[in-house]
Chain A
């Protein structure tokens, strides 16, 4: 091994296998072999995460495998990203800032949505849980996000989604705001003026594609 195509193939396999350490190391080796960062992403990461997404769709892959693949991709991206020109990062289908609202520490559903979005070609910035509106807004502005996705798992924290919509509007963000979480409904999303609602991760991908204009 050492030929560029071999490295990319290995990188591809490492992402598919959810091998975080391997993906990180191979990304470094790709740069060392003179492969352009964008070529490494297109040739090594995208096919790997795409295949993971396909296996998920077919029922072969379960959440642990899918999340591990996304983490391996993220680890490799962390190596490749600094080598990209400042605004030369590819946007994929679009940039998504995602997190669980302030006061709420449930992050499984949010992580699942972020993972599936990444597997479907979005560039995802996961802010974690307990995220105040100000941090959502600052991050969305910093990365020029297309979508801002907020999860709430409690009836008592749902109202923070309303705060977030207000903060995003006030800040004049161009990002569309999407909400989800167990107690959240389309009626709630409408009531708070959110741009989108999905009640599961697969629906969230369809919603995101629609909102960035990739689907009718």
Chain B
């Protein structure tokens, strides 16, 4: 018999349907704003009422778009193996993305990342067993701004096999990034067949689609590259304060994005995701570690599931400034709740300080959290009837459980063995190892991983091709050639 898959639900199905109805009513009565000509043309072609960049969508148009969006999206690693099977309640973690700082392991203070930091992030991500995808998690400060988005992708592809959660900073980036992905996959048709990356598309709350975001949606849809909606209403700041209404606004923003996306290419893959927050009414910040933020995430994921769409959330991350108790507790609770909610893409590990700072040490520790969360939702398996009485009788009569064949056959699957960053030693053992705390042990683990060099060396022709693409792009923009890629 299969294990029970533990699930956390915050709404009844009827309540979810009510939220969707409210979101449809928002799109019909208030509409949404679109700052991209191509998107406006698509909406006009679908018969929507438009007025100076504002569009009103009848529920039927949204329902039609929903009917063509796929329920399952498969994403493959650099070698072509299935890595993300998005849909149903399957959970995958990836490092939180696009941090503008990294935590320096030596000073334990933040600083702007440079290309070697991006390389190291990719290496450590490759080494984290419970992290299924990589992300372009750092914004490099040592390459021109105009090249930063594509540069991150090149570094990721050359230093880690896992598929990439990424995005564009500029409209002209998509074509360049697509050519990089196609180079890694062996052509655009192969890339469409086996996607290697997911592109984040972020509407601006409330209900606005910028030129850049629309273009990312449209270009991605046409290329068959999965899009991930990142709607980010903030309770009481850029949406109503009550959590249900935040979920309604999130749904309205995502539904309008799905409409644009499916009009560009019906059937193109798209993920129901977000990065909302329970706004902090004292500091004016957007705490990702707040329990209300996690509740909004779990709530909107339930809406996405009801609409039969793959889901995403920014969870398993913290607003702490260093690798400390707050960092662990917020990340741990978030990862467990995300897993219990069955969210398909959970972006967050490694991240600190309101999605602004990546830490390799935290990523190694968070990998352990992800392992625990994934173990939790595997649940407790049910053996055959009467297995327990028989086993217990045998051992009581014959001796040790430890070396029993049943133990040896099952303990690896049944009991998760943590990595070296987690302390399972006796007190004496801990003293003997130098009384080191979690951050110290994680730093050791990071050094051990980095000392081995690139864990995913790319085929030489891929490295050459990506270099060629970057150099050509720099020339096109009239910029100096960027630094070495690895």
Contacts and interface: CB of A to CB of B under 8 A. Distances in A.
B100 interface: yes
Interface in A11-49: none
Contacts of A64: 236, 281
Interface residues of A, number: 15
Contact of A63 (B238, B282, B356): B282
Given A64-B281, A108-B234, A108-B284, 13 more contacts: A62-B281, A62-B282, A63-B282, A105-B204, A108-B237, A108-B238, A109-B284, A112-B284, A155-B139, A156-B145, A156-B169, A159-B145, A200-B283
Contacts of B145: 155-156, 159
Nearest to A115: B284
A2 interface: no
Interface in A74-120: 105, 108-109, 112
A201 B284 contact: yes
A183 B139 CA distance: 11
A159 B216 CA distance: 23
Shortest 5 CB-CB distances between A and B: which pairs?
A62-B281, A112-B284, A63-B281, A183-B100, A155-B100
Contacts of B11: none
Contacts of A59: 282
A171 interface: no
14 contacts: A59-B282, A62-B281, A63-B281, A64-B236, A64-B281, A108-B234, A108-B284, A109-B284, A155-B145, A156-B145, A156-B169, A182-B354, A182-B356, A183-B100
A210 B356 CA distance: 29
Contacts of A105: 204
Q: Point out which of B204, B237, B284 has the most chain A C-beta atoms below 10 A from its C-beta.
A: B284
A153 to B, nearest CB: 11
A107 to B, nearest CB: 10
A63 B100 contact: no
Nearest to B139: A155
Contacts of A63: 281-282, 284
Contacts of B356: 182-183
B242 to A, nearest CB: 13
A61 to B, nearest CB: 9
Interface of A: 59, 62-64, 105, 108-109, 112, 155-156, 159, 182-183, 200-201
A62 B282 CA distance: 5
A20 to B, nearest CB: 18
B288 to A, nearest CB: 13
Contacts of B282: 59, 62-63
A115 B184 CA distance: 51
Nearest to B281: A62
B391 to A, nearest CB: 57
Contacts of B204: 105
Contacts of A156: 145, 169
A100 to B, nearest CB: 13
Contacts of A200: 283
B317 to A, nearest CB: 16
B73 to A, nearest CB: 29
Nearest to A155: B100
A62 B145 CA distance: 37
Nearest to B146: A156
Contacts of B234: 108
A159 B139 CA distance: 15
A200 B280 CA distance: 13
A205 B145 CA distance: 32
Contacts of A182: 100, 354, 356
Interface string B98-109: 001000000000
A161 B139 CA distance: 19
Nearest to A201: B284
Contacts of B237: 108
A56 B236 CA distance: 18
A201 B236 CA distance: 18
Interface in B278-307: 281-284
A109 B279 CA distance: 12
A63 B234 CA distance: 14
Nearest to B356: A182
B428 to A, nearest CB: 45
A156 B212 CA distance: 13
Contacts of B139: 155
A63 B282 CA distance: 6
A156 B145 CA distance: 7
Interface in B360-392: none
A56 to B, nearest CB: 9
Nearest to A62: B281
Q: Point out which of A109, A182, A183 has the most chain B C-beta atoms below 10 A from its C-beta.
A: A182
A114 to B, nearest CB: 12
Contacts of A201: 284
A62 B354 CA distance: 20
A156 B98 CA distance: 12
Contacts of A62: 281-282
A15 B257 CA distance: 41
A112 B238 CA distance: 14
A181 to B, nearest CB: 11
Nearest to B238: A108
Nearest to B212: A156
B101 to A, nearest CB: 8
Contacts of A183: 100, 356
B129 to A, nearest CB: 32
Nearest to B204: A105
A29 B169 CA distance: 52
B253 to A, nearest CB: 15
B404 to A, nearest CB: 57
A179 to B, nearest CB: 15
Interface string B220-247: 0000000000000010111000000000
Contacts of B236: 64
Contacts of A155: 100, 139, 145
Contacts of A109: 284
A183 B169 CA distance: 15
A155 B139 CA distance: 9
Contacts of B100: 155, 182-183
A155 B145 CA distance: 9
B189 to A, nearest CB: 33
Interface in B204-224: 204
A64 B240 CA distance: 12
